[in-house]
Amino acid sequence: MKVTPIRFNQRMANSLERFSSQGGEKIANYINAAGKFAIAPLMIMYNPFSKESKENKEWAAIKQPIEALVTIAAQLAALGLLYKRIDKLAAKGKINFKLVDDAKKGGEIPKPILDAVSGNRTKAIDELYKNCLDIFKDRVGTVLTIALYVPVLALSNRIFPKVADFLIKDNDDEQN
Protein backbone atom coordinates (compact mmCIF):
# COMPACT_ATOMS: atom_id res chain seq x y z
CA MET A 1 0.00 0.00 0.00
CA LYS A 2 1.47 3.30 -1.10
CA VAL A 3 1.44 6.08 1.47
CA THR A 4 0.73 9.41 -0.18
CA PRO A 5 2.17 12.63 1.25
CA ILE A 6 -1.33 13.75 2.23
CA ARG A 7 -2.00 10.55 4.20
CA PHE A 8 1.40 10.81 5.84
CA ASN A 9 0.80 14.46 6.77
CA GLN A 10 -2.62 13.57 8.19
CA ARG A 11 -1.11 10.74 10.25
CA MET A 12 1.60 13.09 11.54
CA ALA A 13 -1.02 15.71 12.42
CA ASN A 14 -3.16 13.14 14.22
CA SER A 15 -0.13 11.80 16.10
CA LEU A 16 0.93 15.29 17.15
CA GLU A 17 -2.61 16.07 18.28
CA ARG A 18 -2.76 12.91 20.42
CA PHE A 19 0.71 13.68 21.76
CA SER A 20 -0.21 17.28 22.62
CA SER A 21 -3.34 16.15 24.47
CA GLN A 22 -1.05 14.58 27.11
CA GLY A 23 -0.61 17.95 28.79
CA GLY A 24 2.18 20.47 28.84
CA GLU A 25 4.35 19.05 31.59
CA LYS A 26 4.27 15.50 30.25
CA ILE A 27 5.20 16.74 26.77
CA ALA A 28 8.07 18.78 28.19
CA ASN A 29 9.32 15.68 30.02
CA TYR A 30 9.12 13.52 26.88
CA ILE A 31 10.95 16.08 24.73
CA ASN A 32 13.62 16.68 27.35
CA ALA A 33 14.20 12.95 27.83
CA ALA A 34 14.32 12.32 24.07
CA GLY A 35 16.90 15.08 23.64
CA LYS A 36 19.05 13.81 26.49
CA PHE A 37 18.73 10.24 25.29
CA ALA A 38 19.41 10.70 21.58
CA ILE A 39 20.83 14.12 20.77
CA ALA A 40 23.04 15.05 23.73
CA PRO A 41 25.35 11.99 23.47
CA LEU A 42 25.94 12.67 19.78
CA MET A 43 26.71 16.32 20.44
CA ILE A 44 29.12 15.37 23.22
CA MET A 45 30.92 12.66 21.23
CA TYR A 46 31.22 14.58 17.96
CA ASN A 47 31.74 18.14 19.22
CA PRO A 48 34.57 19.52 17.08
CA PHE A 49 35.20 22.36 19.54
CA SER A 50 35.84 20.13 22.55
CA LYS A 51 39.42 19.48 23.65
CA GLU A 52 38.35 16.59 25.93
CA SER A 53 39.83 13.14 25.52
CA LYS A 54 37.80 10.41 23.87
CA GLU A 55 37.43 8.64 27.24
CA ASN A 56 36.03 11.78 28.90
CA LYS A 57 33.63 12.30 26.01
CA GLU A 58 32.46 8.68 26.27
CA TRP A 59 31.91 9.03 30.01
CA ALA A 60 29.90 12.24 29.58
CA ALA A 61 27.94 10.85 26.63
CA ILE A 62 26.91 7.72 28.54
CA LYS A 63 25.56 9.86 31.38
CA GLN A 64 22.92 11.56 29.24
CA PRO A 65 20.76 8.53 28.29
CA ILE A 66 21.02 7.13 31.83
CA GLU A 67 19.95 10.45 33.30
CA ALA A 68 17.13 10.69 30.75
CA LEU A 69 15.76 7.26 31.66
CA VAL A 70 15.95 7.86 35.42
CA THR A 71 14.39 11.30 35.05
CA ILE A 72 11.51 10.27 32.82
CA ALA A 73 10.72 7.22 34.95
CA ALA A 74 10.74 9.19 38.22
CA GLN A 75 8.85 12.18 36.86
CA LEU A 76 6.18 10.19 35.08
CA ALA A 77 5.65 7.93 38.07
CA ALA A 78 5.36 10.94 40.38
CA LEU A 79 3.10 12.80 37.96
CA GLY A 80 0.92 9.72 37.51
CA LEU A 81 0.45 9.40 41.26
CA LEU A 82 -0.20 13.13 41.60
CA TYR A 83 -2.75 13.18 38.78
CA LYS A 84 -4.52 10.13 40.20
CA ARG A 85 -4.76 11.86 43.59
CA ILE A 86 -6.06 15.06 42.00
CA ASP A 87 -8.68 13.08 40.06
CA LYS A 88 -9.82 11.38 43.29
CA LEU A 89 -10.15 14.74 45.04
CA ALA A 90 -12.01 16.17 42.05
CA ALA A 91 -14.41 13.22 42.00
CA LYS A 92 -15.19 13.89 45.66
CA GLY A 93 -15.91 17.54 44.85
CA LYS A 94 -12.93 18.82 46.83
CA ILE A 95 -11.42 20.78 43.95
CA ASN A 96 -13.44 23.73 42.70
CA PHE A 97 -12.69 26.57 40.33
CA LYS A 98 -14.11 30.07 40.56
CA LEU A 99 -14.63 30.22 36.78
CA VAL A 100 -16.79 27.09 36.91
CA ASP A 101 -18.67 28.26 39.99
CA ASP A 102 -19.44 31.54 38.23
CA ALA A 103 -20.62 29.68 35.11
CA LYS A 104 -22.94 27.54 37.24
CA LYS A 105 -24.48 30.74 38.62
CA GLY A 106 -25.25 31.96 35.09
CA GLY A 107 -21.89 33.55 34.35
CA GLU A 108 -20.13 33.54 31.04
CA ILE A 109 -18.75 30.37 29.46
CA PRO A 110 -16.01 30.75 26.82
CA LYS A 111 -17.51 30.65 23.33
CA PRO A 112 -15.23 27.85 21.99
CA ILE A 113 -16.46 25.56 24.76
CA LEU A 114 -20.11 26.43 24.10
CA ASP A 115 -19.58 25.88 20.38
CA ALA A 116 -17.92 22.49 21.00
CA VAL A 117 -21.02 21.22 22.85
CA SER A 118 -23.58 22.83 20.51
CA GLY A 119 -24.66 25.39 23.10
CA ASN A 120 -25.64 22.84 25.77
CA ARG A 121 -24.89 24.79 28.95
CA THR A 122 -24.69 21.72 31.24
CA LYS A 123 -22.18 19.99 28.96
CA ALA A 124 -20.30 23.27 28.56
CA ILE A 125 -19.92 23.60 32.34
CA ASP A 126 -18.65 20.02 32.52
CA GLU A 127 -16.18 20.73 29.72
CA LEU A 128 -15.09 23.98 31.39
CA TYR A 129 -14.45 22.07 34.64
CA LYS A 130 -12.43 19.46 32.76
CA ASN A 131 -10.34 22.17 31.08
CA CYS A 132 -9.74 23.94 34.40
CA LEU A 133 -8.78 20.64 36.02
CA ASP A 134 -6.34 19.86 33.20
CA ILE A 135 -4.71 23.27 33.57
CA PHE A 136 -4.55 22.83 37.35
CA LYS A 137 -2.93 19.40 36.98
CA ASP A 138 -0.41 20.79 34.51
CA ARG A 139 0.54 23.66 36.84
CA VAL A 140 0.84 21.44 39.90
CA GLY A 141 2.78 18.95 37.75
CA THR A 142 5.24 21.69 36.82
CA VAL A 143 5.82 22.49 40.49
CA LEU A 144 6.31 18.78 41.26
CA THR A 145 8.77 18.38 38.38
CA ILE A 146 10.79 21.32 39.68
CA ALA A 147 10.69 19.91 43.22
CA LEU A 148 11.89 16.52 41.95
CA TYR A 149 14.84 17.94 40.04
CA VAL A 150 17.45 17.64 42.78
CA PRO A 151 16.35 14.20 44.12
CA VAL A 152 16.18 12.78 40.60
CA LEU A 153 19.57 14.22 39.75
CA ALA A 154 21.01 12.70 42.96
CA LEU A 155 19.49 9.32 42.08
CA SER A 156 20.83 9.57 38.55
CA ASN A 157 24.30 10.41 39.87
CA ARG A 158 24.23 7.30 42.08
CA ILE A 159 23.12 5.00 39.25
CA PHE A 160 25.28 6.46 36.49
CA PRO A 161 28.77 5.41 37.68
CA LYS A 162 27.69 1.80 38.09
CA VAL A 163 26.16 1.60 34.63
CA ALA A 164 29.02 3.54 33.03
CA ASP A 165 31.66 1.33 34.65
CA PHE A 166 29.79 -1.73 33.42
CA LEU A 167 29.49 -0.38 29.86
CA ILE A 168 33.03 0.93 29.64
CA LYS A 169 34.48 -2.24 31.22
CA ASP A 170 32.62 -4.31 28.61
CA ASN A 171 34.07 -2.14 25.86
CA ASP A 172 37.57 -2.42 27.34
CA ASP A 173 37.22 -6.23 27.55
CA GLU A 174 36.12 -6.39 23.90
CA GLN A 175 39.11 -4.27 22.78
CA ASN A 176 41.65 -6.49 24.60
More confident residue, 103 or 32: 103
Indicate whether 13 belongs to any domain.
no
Q: Rounded mean pLDDT of 24-47?
A: 80
The whole-chain average pLDDT of the chain stands at 83
Tell me the residue range of the domain where 148 lies.
Answer: 24-175
Q: How many domains does the chain have?
A: 1
Indicate whether 83 belongs to any domain.
yes
The DSSP code sequence of 64-106 is HHHHHHHHHHHHHHHHHHHHHHHHHHHHTT----HHHHHHHTT
pLDDT(176) > 70: no
pLDDT(76) > 80: yes
This prediction has a pTM of: 0.67
Indicate whether 4 belongs to any domain.
no
pLDDT at position 174: 52
Instruction: Report the percent of the chain where pLDDT is more than 90.
Output: 25
Indicate whether 7 belongs to any domain.
no
Indicate whether 65 belongs to any domain.
yes
Label residue 109 exposed, middle or buried (CB < 10 Å: 0-12, 13-18, 19+).
buried
pLDDT(67) > 90: no
pLDDT(14) > 60: yes
